[in-house]
Amino acid sequence: MCVRASASQSEQRMRWRRILPAGVMTLTGYGIFVYGASGFIAPVEEQAPMLSHSIVPYCATLRSLVFAAFNLLFGKAMLRSASPRTLVLIGTGSFGVGIATTAASVAVAPSHALLLLGFGVATGVGSGLVYMSIFTPTLAWFADRKGLVAGVLRARP
């Protein structure tokens, strides 16, 4: 009985060590997601003055809607069909493709459609997949302390 209790305590200590990388990933992703739009407006206006100045807020709004859709509508189903690690890799790739598409839509061939597709859709999908893939399993690991863990994962500097 004592051996089993110490193994359980050891497992509980190990799970707290897992929260640090998950917290760092969500803080980084969330910081890029939330604060990235404000740092994005001025360079777009400088690099591609032919793009409408009103398109950038639409990109941020579209990105937020896609982010919410992937978290709320598809999150649980996707986690049942694939592992969190796989979804984080797919989300990271999607985010990278979105940033590359955004850069191409500004620097190479200025296009409203590419800007909406890259910064709006692809980065929203990537952010949503990564966030959901980290947040949901971490809350499941800490079923007894969901509020604390959710606060640690959502805390911002």
> Over 28-97, what HEC string results?
HHHHHHHHHHHHHHHHHHHHCCCCCCCHHHHHHHHHHHHHHHHHHCCHHHHHHHCCHHHHHHHHHHHHHH
The Cα–Cα gap between 155 and 157 comes to 7
- Angle at the Cα of 93 (from 33 to 76), degrees rounded to 5? 75
- 0.85 exceeded by pTM: no
> Residue 6: CB partners within 8 Å, gap ≥ 6?
none
The Cα–Cα gap between 88 and 109 comes to 30
Contact of 110 with 51, CB cutoff 8 Å = yes
Q: Which of 3-7, 143-147, 153-157 has the lowest mean pLDDT?
A: 3-7
Any idea what DSSP says for residue 117?
I
pLDDT at position 5 over 90: no
Question: For a pLDDT cut of 90, what percent of the chain falls above it?
Answer: 4
Q: What pLDDT does residue 76 have? A: 78
pLDDT tens, 84-143? 889 888 988 998 899 899 888 888 878 888 888 988 899 889 888 888 888 888 888 888
pLDDT tens, 13-22? 676 676 667 6
Mean pLDDT over 52-62 rounds to 78
Q: What pLDDT does residue 37 have? A: 63
pLDDT at position 4 over 50: no
Q: What pLDDT does residue 121 have? A: 92
